[in-house]
């Protein structure tokens, strides 16, 4: 996923979630990232803010570094192992 890659690479980002997706998952994820200090959340209805937020990130390397560090903390570095274990447990009905 895009957020997984942003976390893996520790990239600062401005997220504009679509309000037209199933179960509003983009907004929920964007809100979580913003609450963790890992992204700026701009709602689609506030799209005029987008340019200002992007420019603010580009102009402030200290703040950008904070977002990058927070994003990196959200990365699951052993995602393949975790997923494999969940699938194993699902298939065999128990936990090792």
Q: How many domains, in total, are found in the chain?
A: 1
* Cα 67 off chain centre by: 11
Crossing angle for the helix pair 50-59 and 61-73, to the nearest 10 degrees: 100
Q: Which domain holds residue 83?
A: 2-92
Interatomic CA distance for residues 15 and 13, integer angstroms:
6
Contact 10, 72 (CB under 8 A): yes
pLDDT band at 95, cuts 50/70/90?
low
pLDDT digits (tens, 9 = 90+) for 33-82: 999 999 999 999 998 999 999 999 999 999 999 999 999 999 988 888 98
Beta carbons of 36 and 73 less than 8 angstroms apart: yes
- For residue 3, give Cα distances in angstroms to 6, 38, 91, 93: 5, 10, 27, 30
């Amino acid at each position: 996923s895009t957020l997984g890659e942003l976390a893996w690479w520790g990239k600062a980002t401005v997220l504009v979630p679509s309000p037209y997706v199933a179960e509003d998952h983009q907004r929920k994820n964007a809100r979580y990232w913003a609450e963790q200090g890992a992204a700026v959340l701009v709602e689609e209805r506030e799209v005029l803010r987008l340019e200002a937020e992007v420019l603010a990130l580009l102009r402030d390397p200290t703040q950008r570094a904070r977002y990058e560090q927070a994003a990196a903390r959200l990365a699951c570095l052993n995602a393949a192992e975790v997923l494999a274990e969940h699938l194993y447990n699902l298939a065999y009905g128990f936990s090792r």
